[in-house]
Every structure is written in structure tokens, then in C-alpha cells.
Amino acid sequence: MDEFLKSIAMAWNPVGEVRRRRQDGSLHFANTIAPFLGIVIACQLFQNGAHTFFLKMLASIAHEQLQEHPFTSTFAQKMIAALTVLSTLGVVAVLPRPVFRPSSRSEVLSTLLITWTGGVFYQAALGSVALFVSGVAVAVNVQLGLIAFTMLNILTGLVAIVLLGAFWTRAADALELPGGQVALISITALCGLAAFVAMLLLAAAYAPPP
């Protein structure tokens, strides 16, 4: 229980966590990768559970059995969550050293990871509520449930994106990074994320049935 509360405390205020770790000298990638990657994976599994609940409610209304996909297993979800983070940070890590000054490569990567975790935390919290509400709405009225699913997921997704952007820019200010370097790091991270998502979608499309 103590570890759970500690994880929540680290995730809900990522900017404060970056500042705290920079002050006490623990803002290093080696110190942050394990705990924050664990939080990202836990949030992914929690939201996946809510998504499964919605799909099961929808399938029960249609009197059909929910078909499992290889990528929906717990192991696959853990791997996808971890590889999404690591591949994106890996692309940023290959940028030349001057891009990270006056900070260091390790501090910037840690800051990206911490702010990413904050965004994922709020996405899981808001998105799971939206999925549970949509699932209940589907049981009452299918059309109403699908509308709720679409609108609520768009809304929570936009909120999570805005929060992530705000977390990252404020944390970058704490590292005293110039605006041009922040923009370059952000674009690089987005390109790495987009490339991984494209490969993931391609793999999912050609994955054999269970």
C-alpha cells in the first residue's frame, strides 16, 4: 500500500517531482527508469481493463463473444507500454550533446520520462472513467453508449495531451532549456513515438489469431 501511494505521489505532480529530484541530485535516468516505467505499465494495464469492460458490455448486447487479440494479453500490454516509452526516449537519446545543454542528456531523458508518466497517469484515470461510463451507457442504450464512448474518449485524450504538454514545458523550464531546444526534443520524441505506433499497428494487423 505504501508503494502504491508513493507511486501516485510521483505521478500526479510530475513537475514537482522533477524539481525535487534535481534539487536532491537524483534526476538521473538510472534512478528514474525502473519506478516510472513501472507506473506507466500499471496505468496501461488499468486502462486496458476498463477498455475490456466496455468491449464485453458491447459484445453482450450484440449476443457475441469477445474475440481475444494477441496484443490484448497482459504480457503484450506490458511489453507495448514499456517499448513505447523506451523507443521514444531512445530516439531522443541519439540527439547531439549540445541539444541538452545547460542540462545533461540523463536529466532531460529523466524529465521526459517523469512528465510522460504524469500524462499517462491522468490519461488512465480520466480514460478509465470514460470507458466505464460508456460501458454502463451501452447496457442502457447502445447508440447512447457509442456516442458517450466517442465523445468522452476524444475529450479525455485532448485533456491528457494538454496536460502532458504543460508538464513537459514547465519541467523543461526547471532545467533552463532554451525554447528552440525544447521544440527540437519535442519534435524528435513525437517522431519516435509515431514511428513506433506505425510499426505496432502494422504488426497488429498481421498478427495471427490466438
Tell me: the pLDDT tens digits for 183-201? Answer: 999 999 999 989 988 888 8
Query: With pLDDT > 90 as the criterion, what percentage of the chain qualifies?
Result: 23
Confidence label for 77 from pLDDT (cuts 50, 70 and 90): confident
Q: What are 83-121's pLDDT values in tens digits?
A: 999 999 999 999 999 999 888 899 999 999 999 999 999
**Angstrom distance (rounded) from CA 160 to CA 106:** 25
Rounded Cα distance between 137 and 131, Å, is: 10
Q: What is the pLDDT of residue 26?
A: 83
- Indicate if the pLDDT at residue 8 is higher than 80: no
74 touches 49 (CB < 8 A): no
Q: Which residue has the cell 512528465?
A: 115
Query: In this predicted structure, what is the pLDDT of residue 1?
Result: 44
**Distance from C-alpha of 139 to C-alpha of 170, rounded to nearest angstrom:** 42
Stretch 130-157: mean pLDDT: 87
Least confident segment among 43-57, 77-91, 152-166: 43-57
pTM: 0.86
Tracing cell 525554447 back to the chain, one arrives at 179
Model confidence at 71, in pLDDT bands (50, 70, 90)? low
Nearest to 85 by CA among 96, 97, 93, 95: 93
- Provide the pLDDT for residue 134: 87
